Amino acid sequence: MSTPIPQPPGYPLLGNLTDIDPKSPFQSIKQLAQKYGEIFKLSTLGSDRYILCSERLAAEACNETRFVKGVSENLKQVRNGVGDGLFTAFHGEHNWELAHRTLVPAFGPLGITDMYDEMYDIATQLVSKWARTDPDEPIQVTEDYTRLTLDSIALCAMDKRFNSFYHEEMHPFVDAMTGFLRESGARSRKTRLELLLNQGPTRQYEKDIALMRSVAQEVIDKRRRTPTDKHDLLNAMLFGKDPKTGERLSDESVMNNMITFLIAGHETTSGLLGFTTYYLLKNPEALRKAQEEVDNVVGRGPVRFEHMSKLPYIEAILRESLRLSPTASAFSVTPKPGTTEPVLLGGEYLVPPNAILICWLPEIQRDRTVYGDDAEDFKPERMLSENFTKLPSASWKPFGNGARGCIGRPFAWQEAVLALALILQNFNLHMADPGYSLQIKQNLTIKPDNFYVKVSLRPGIDTTNIERRMFGDLAASVQERATTAATVKNVGDLKPMTVLYGSNSGTCEGLAQKLALAGNSQGFSAAVKPLDSIVDQFPKEHPVVLISASYEGCPPDNAALFTEWLKTADESKFKGAQYSVFGCGHTDWMQTYQKIPTLYDDQLSSKGAQPIIPRGHTNVATGTIFDDFDAWSDQLWSALGGESSTVTEGLDMELSSRSRASHLRYAVQDALIVKNELLTSVDASSEKRYIEFRLPTNASYETGDYLALLPINDFSVVSRVLRRFTLPWDATMKLKKGSHSTIPTDTEMSVSLVLASYVELNMPATKKNLRTIASYMGDKADTIDLTALDQHSPLDILEAHPDLDIPFSVYLSMLPSMRIRQYSISSSPLADPSIASITFSLAGDGTTSSHPGVATNYLKKLQPGSTAQVSIRKSPAPFNPPADTSIPLVMICAGTGVAPFRGFVQDRAARITSSKSSNNFAPAILIIGCRDPAIDALHTEELKKWEAAGAVKLYYAYSRKPELSDGCKYAQDRLWRERAEVAALFNKGAKVLICGSSALGKGVNEVVAQITVDREKEKGHEITEEDAKKWWEKLRNERYAVDVFD
């Protein structure tokens, strides 16, 4: 038996019309939702709607196998102005399908990247206006945010400048749009008789529609008169073809979608920025953290595209703001066409087969079963990384659902992150009225009403230098002229290859074209085709690459036929084929992340096809699409026996080449990455990883040796250099013979390759560097204290002084040659002589540090199947376990200092296993310090297994959880607690090894000194702590050894 659905008492004919305040329908629905719970019914003028207010019911409604978009009464009225545009089209309307397939690529990652500079242009206009506003003058931020977002969508998508920041009044389009949306909502609540009797609002309504359409027509006519090859939304609408049918949009459809984008493309984002500003000013700690993140990531220079993916707290703030105040407060669904029986929701509520279900986001996104008792509070932390990805699927839906979700989401997101970063970088904000409580202004969307703030420039910024800060790198110039080089082989020498793509947004198609272009210099002639084109004819005679995305777990439109065929085709169609898969995905859709690429890989391998390399993937949310794809491509070419190119498009172009190592004078060889694992939880303050290398056949090592690595600079840092000197990615250079000792001379080289592979980009500037930079400053040199910048790299200094015209050749001469990095091997050759592993901590990832560790961030990105250039180096003799197993061993470490000791213990365990007894082995103890056993205790399962085998006795100290380690916070505290056992072993000749930071070494010295003083006192001898330290120091490298890595 079903549960009755509650409904407010109503009136005949009118129904619940009087329950909705026409001036504030948002507040009315909110109050009813709080009164009636997870579902209730409203009837107005004979039309029934069911309001869903819980995540569990919304999750069902979002199931696109059962429900489709329902066009609400409001949207039916909006159709008067925009017809069957993307937002207002009924389910199944042909023009929607045509426009969706044609226009989605314009908002794909490649398109959004291209829009950044114009978006930045408009955002800096807002900053410039605020910079010149009196700090005591209140600013109605929602109006300026409307100027920002309208001008951004108009310029980026249509090459139209409204120049809203140069006029006191808003553009007439805004007033017409506001009136149109307001009256559309009002008309949805009026009877036909009311509309007939009150013609005044109707006449104004028609005028507003006419004005909007005239503005759109003006933009269209201008483009037709003066065509451009710009890859923007307008060109896609006017000249783009549906990839499925080959049709073009009709003039009417172009007009409808033009107005749709002008409305939807700015109204919701301006509201998002308004609400976000309000929540930040109400939560000073969140504001402080946000400003601190911007300072750490962006610094004082321009906000660049590469910063967009490195501001996780800013993104969390925006998500949390949208959770509490979704600017598009609801979306409607209805049972799929053909449904004839009542539909059961939540296992208890029956709704008619033609019901309109409204997912009411302000309540769904406050569902306490999902967000807890503090669901009403603004807490950005709940939207960070894994916390966000673990949320139930329907608990955060501000951009709508599935195929009818907002296609402009990437545009809006980049715009909001950029605007917020620029504002926080340059201004301090506070409410004009400290007592202001949030008020809602509603048309089709919502935004804060009567919300004013006051802004003041942050210390060190004034109206004169703010322009240089924002545009510094654009003014930089170089004296050298960059040239472009490309290597092309004779067509007759090229081997065949097929690159297949499944793509709606154009991203995967772009990657396919990129791979095919690179294939030419690798010895391959690649044909690029959509996946659907090879149904029933999968190539088996040459390599095949499949590049695809998932869309809510479904294949792209041009891969749907292939996907179904692949599932059912006989394995004879694939047996013996060589293939590799690369997938694009977004972790905001965690439940279906990489679903389709994974399916391709699994199906092909299960049907006898042979993978060339493991499946590659990228998370669009991180903004590293091209980095990830380039790294994977390098693995692919290496596996296919391709050649290195003199022109690099990514970081790893010479990963397997020995020429770099030869010029740098390092004896390294290629080692294969077997495993790359994250050891710490997401809550760890620093990421720690474990990598296994398969060594070349002629390489061997002993327990305790070091692995030396020749790294490559991160492409984000290389890009900073190219931007600072306005060099294209494919610029080349040629050094005269004898002009450099480690960079190849008399040879044309890619500038990107040289920067990535041959020089250090993050090393602090030397005094000589500082003097060189000063020599280009002229009169300004006396006003700037360069000595205060001695911990900054030359690049940092040049970015901070964008007007400094220093030649690239001079900058390059400042950079030291790339140096090799050394890591303790954390394995024993007795376990597998071909495998050497390292355990390391990530040294800054570019998010919280402007100087990401070159080697550790390079290591982090290495995928299994790729290679790195390494060599084996012997460790100092003192820092080795005793060869005589009858000598006890005491090991003390903290953090990744456990690395060599893991190898020592693994070695002892292997020896004990082979001898089938631990009786011939003296005791060994290992004291380990870390923060929290649940967060950053490393290799615990293996160590416990080896402890059970008798190889070691473990003692832990947890600095954040000392109650779990007998009150010991640090490794030296545990040493003090176990001093009796340690002293007994030491008296039996034990060797003591210490690995960790200098703070650990100092702490151990202090404890040893105290133990020694106490021991002598028990013997009746009085010695000072200083005497004890001198005695201990004399034993260094004989009875104890230290390996300090900071």
The DSSP code sequence of 947-1012 is HHTTS-EEEEEESS-GGGTTT--SHHHHHHHTHHHHHHHHHTT-EEEEEE-HHHHHHHHHHHHHHH
Residue after which a domain boundary falls, among 616, 643, 670? 643
Answer whether residue 545 is part of any domain: yes
- Which among 406, 508, 893, 968 is annotated as catalytic? 406
Whether residue 268 lies in the annotated active site: yes
Out of 451-455, 508-512, 638-642, 886-890, pick the least confident. 638-642
Give the confidence band of 425 by pLDDT, cuts at 50, 70, 90: very high
273 and 221 in a common domain:
yes
pLDDT score at 292: 94
SS3 732: strand
Give the confidence band of 143 by pLDDT, cuts at 50, 70, 90: very high
Checking if the pLDDT of 437 tops 50, the result is yes
pLDDT score at 290: 96
- pTM for the model stands at 0.56
450 and 539 in a common domain:
no
**Mean pLDDT value of segment 331-338:** 95
- Which among 44, 149, 178, 268 is annotated as catalytic? 268
pLDDT score at 738: 58
Residue after which a domain boundary falls, among 416, 444, 472? 472
Range with top average pLDDT, 149-153, 456-460, 777-781: 149-153
Residue after which a domain boundary falls, among 643, 673, 689? 643
Domain of residue 750, CATH code: 2.40.30.10
Q: Is 406 annotated as a binding residue?
A: yes
860 and 739 in a common domain:
yes
Checking if the pLDDT of 201 tops 80, the result is yes
pLDDT score at 850: 52
1040 and 925 in a common domain:
yes
User: How distant, in Å, are the alpha carbons of 88, 733, 748, 818, 951 from that of 484?
Assistant: 47, 9, 10, 25, 60
677 and 631 in a common domain:
no
Give the confidence band of 783 by pLDDT, cuts at 50, 70, 90: low
pLDDT score at 552: 67
Out of 160-169, 266-275, 309-318, 332-341, pick the least confident. 160-169
Give the confidence band of 643 by pLDDT, cuts at 50, 70, 90: very low
Q: Residue 358 is part of which domain span?
A: 94-472
Give the confidence band of 655 by pLDDT, cuts at 50, 70, 90: very low
Contacts of 911 (CB under 8 A, 6+ apart): 830, 885, 921
528 and 602 in a common domain:
yes
519 and 397 in a common domain:
no
Answer whether residue 140 is part of any domain: yes
Answer whether residue 944 is part of any domain: yes
Answer whether residue 170 is part of any domain: yes
SS3 866: coil
Q: Over pLDDT 70: what percentage of the chain?
A: 93
230 and 327 in a common domain:
yes
CA distance 79 to 726: 47
Q: Report DSSP state, residue 559.
A: G
Q: What share of the chain is helix, strand, coil (3-state, %, to 5)?
A: 45, 15, 40
903 and 865 in a common domain:
no
274 and 223 in a common domain:
yes
Checking if the pLDDT of 473 tops 70, the result is no
- Which among 399, 538, 626, 840 is annotated as catalytic? 399
533 and 463 in a common domain:
no
509 and 420 in a common domain:
no
Nearest to 440 by CA among 283, 324, 357: 324
Checking if the pLDDT of 481 tops 50, the result is no
Give the confidence band of 487 by pLDDT, cuts at 50, 70, 90: very low
Answer whether residue 810 is part of any domain: no
Answer whether residue 863 is part of any domain: yes
pLDDT score at 14: 85
Q: Report DSSP state, residue 3.
A: P
Specify whether the CB–CB gap between 657 and 710 falls below 8 A.
no
pLDDT score at 789: 64
Answer whether residue 791 is part of any domain: no
User: How distant, in Å, are the alpha carbons of 165, 599, 918, 943 from that of 923?
Assistant: 76, 51, 9, 15
Checking if the pLDDT of 730 tops 80, the result is no
SS3 38: coil
Where is pLDDT greater, at 45 or 985? 985
Answer whether residue 40 is part of any domain: no
pLDDT score at 650: 28
Give the confidence band of 781 by pLDDT, cuts at 50, 70, 90: low
Give the confidence band of 355 by pLDDT, cuts at 50, 70, 90: very high
Number of separate domains in the chain:
4
Mean pLDDT over all residues of the chain? 87
